[in-house]
Structure 1
């Protein structure tokens, strides 16, 4: 026969079950929490680069691409249509002023020049002949004027005698009139000769000037050909490095074709390019920083191309230390052109994450060794710092290294 279990025993048994299930529940919750903690995505501290927000001055700059070029470079072109006969130097050679570089075929040009020298001599003789002929003609006319003047004086005397005889009654009125007529005719002839002499002087002088001008034009053409002939003797115009030479002996070379390039490889400049949307921020005289790896070289914008080509504007930077050992012709560099100064602004280090003004999502370190994503408004920048407009405060530590692989995470554990 079954006995009824006392209520006290039942209550005691129920309490034991409640305690047992509670312990099991707490243990499960703890296990789940530990598991979640272990499964949470983390990142190694050594893989992160932090920048602490501070306050200071930012020299605002715009970034551009650049290429190192020789401070001086001269292209030597062929002044005539010819061919290469000999090559005296090779690329990379050092050359001094007047050093022969290559020889062009100048035979036909020299023959033409010698013909022009003979023609110059012939023109000179013709000019001298013209001067002699002019002087002879004018001398003859001057002599005719003298003869005419003597004839006029003689007729004047005859007229005076006829007047005297007529006053004595020994002459006649007809003879007086005849003498007057002869005198007047002789006077007109004398005046005519003098006018002809003046006109002839002017005509001969003008003709001589025309011939002298034509001779001078010819001599200038001859001098130009002599200069062309001298230029065809391909020599170095200064001390430099021969960076290019057309060394194909026998090759035909057109007038104006490039045959050599000499460069000064001891001093350099930087040729920069920037999008034309930033063209108003680049001007001659502006300060610029050229970065070669971790090294920074100061410079000044020396010139800016006024026209945009393919959406970019070109400019040149004159370096303060243009003979730095890191400089190499053709080396690609980053150029930062300063255009404004902002004082007492919050700032963080500039890094690859920054692509211009706007809103960013950056990870900020918390006190619990976590980095939490935060929306941050950034402004202007230079090659070192970025202006913080909002979203951060002084002292915050911000991750500035590449976090693109964690773009879908809002919180990360720092291990």
Structure 2
């Protein structure tokens, strides 16, 4: 392309004539003047085309050099944090900050709603089991209890009426059977005498047959009366049993209603310290509303939030250590809450042998959660670069310290101080561990002292 530009320049030089003005030319014709303007326009056109060609060539050369070269950035040494790759014992732990909460807490919820009639305790009071805390009133619940009592009384009266009717029917049936049996015996006795009189001719045959038919009738009547008695007793027993079941349900409802009425008097279910309680006389409290809680004093646990990054490495029974006034206290994880909120999950930690002295609810403690055993490893200090790279790459400082070159690595476990190197770095090398903000597309850092 440069040769073509040179050829074009030579051709233009040969075709361009030199014009030397004279007094004759100044007074010459208009044709000579037109020839000069034509040659100047061609010259400027040539200059513009040549400039554009040079720019295009320069851009092309720059593009090729950019594609084949590294993307670098000049950085001041005092803005970078450089650390050395070392070997050492990796302690697999994470620091956690937890808050002291009561180990055992019983919440006080209003089972039945109502208006506060009287307050017997205040927030912070130490209570014993059964102490009255607050009394509520509920006219609807009281009316319900009254109605239940009336229904139970009515059902009991109905049941007694049925029992009385059953007893009367039983006696009437028994009396009827006794009368029929007596009649049968009388007919059998009379029929025996009448048969003798009929053999002697003193009694007609028709009279004898009538008496035998009467005996058969009463015998059949006795059989039907006994069956009727059994049927009546069975039906009446079923009716009485149904009444008793209905009465039992009503009595249970009455017991429940009375218990609900009793629940308007809220008492301490256990002994402890009353907290979160704020009720005033005349206040309306809805059913299910939490009005406070009772904490067992001098029994605490540690509740901590842990980054969700460790959710698969935290398990029940893992060791937690805490230092207070130069003494070590051991604890362990007792409960894990799997819900993740704002990138964190929660655990409950209980002290094993003894608790640190003078703990207060709401106090915060700094502790160490051990995730695994100690082991020999290649280590680099923990730094801000991890948040920018995810541990996938790092800038390694050259031996002369003039540059830091981007290198792919693989990191393993990390704690608050160090990160375990799995591959990509050797002990003795130096790396940049400060923030990589804005360095995502950079391959090389040129370090200026």
Answer whether TM exceeds 0.5 for this pair.
yes
Partner of 1:150: 182
Offset, 1:217: 0.9
For residue 389 of structure 1, what is the aligned residue in structure 2?
422
More deviation, 66-75/92-101? 66-75
TM-score, L = length of structure 1: 0.67
Structure 1 position 187 matched with structure 2 position 209: no
SS in 2 for 1:221: helix
Which moves more between the two structures, 382-391 or 190-199?
382-391
* Structure 2 Cα separation of the partners of residues 271 and 174 of structure 1: 111
CA contact (8 A) 2:382 2:415 kept: yes
Say how many residue pairs are matched: 364
**Which residue in 2 is equivalent to 1:229?**
261
Distance 2:201 2:341 in 1: 112
Residue in 2 aligned with 1:53?
87
The match for 1:380 is 413
Q: Verify: 1:319 aligned to 2:319, yes or no.
A: no
Report the secondary structure of 1:91's partner residue: coil
**Which structure 2 residues correspond to residues 131-170 of structure 1 after superposition, within 5 A?**
131-170=163-202
Note closer, same or farther for the CA distance 1:364–1:143 as it changes in structure 2 (3 Å cut). Answer: farther
Q: Which residue of 1 aligns with 2:3?
A: none
Indicate whether 1:270 and 2:313 are aligned: no
List per-residue Cα deviations over 1:124-166 (Å, max 9, x = no partner).
3443343233222212212222222222222233344444444
C-alpha contact (below 8 Å) 1:336/1:383 kept by paired residues: no
> Which residue of 1 is the match for residue 63 of structure 2?
none
How far apart are residue 199 of structure 1 and its match? Answer: 1.0
Instruction: Tell me, in whole angstroms, the C-alpha distance in 2 between the residues paired with 1:333 and 1:172.
Output: 124
Query: Contact conserved, 2:316 with 2:333, CA < 8 A, in 1?
Result: yes
Q: 1:41 aligns with which of 54, 77, 90?
A: 77
Q: Distance in 1 between matches of 2:254 and 2:304?
A: 40
Assess, with a 3 A threshold, how the Cα gap between structure 1 residues 113 and 71 changes in structure 2: closer, same or farther. same
Distance 1:208 1:271, change over 3 A: farther
Distance, in Å, in 2 between the alignment partners of 1:312 and 1:357 is: 16
What are the residue-to-residue correspondences of 1:209-224 with 2, within 5 Å? 209-224=241-256
Identify which range, 199-208 or 165-174, moves more after superposition.
165-174
Q: Using a 3 Å threshold, how does the CA distance of structure 1 residues 43 and 311 change in structure 2: closer, same or farther? A: closer
The offset of 1:304, in angstroms, is: 4.4
Query: What is the CA–CA distance in structure 2 between the aligned matches of 1:274 and 1:142, rounded to whole Å?
Result: 86
SS at the partner of 1:188? helix
CA-CA distance at 1:403 after TM superposition: 5.6
- Per the alignment, residue 202 of structure 1 pairs with 234
Q: Displacement, 1:262?
A: 2.7
Q: Which runs of 5+ in 2 are unaligned?
A: 1-74
Query: How far off is 1:193 after superposition?
Result: 1.0
Contact 1:288–1:317 under 8 Å retained in 2: no
Q: Distance in 2 between matches of 1:167 and 1:316?
A: 111
Calculate the aligned-residue CA RMSD, in Å. Answer: 4.7
1:76 aligns with 2:112: no
CA radius of gyration, larger in: 2
Distance 1:40 1:106, change over 3 A: closer
- Aligned 8 A contact 2:96 2:304 in 1: no
Secondary structure, aligned partner of 1:387: strand
Label 1:40 to 1:134 Cα distance change in 2 as closer, same or farther (>3 A).
closer
1:93 alignment partner, one of 125, 141, 163: 125
Distance 1:285 1:409 in 2: 46
User: Do 2:87 and 2:376's aligned partners in 1 also have CA atoms closer than 8 Å?
Assistant: no
Deviations 1:42-68 (A, max 9, x none): 589xx9887842256757x8x999765
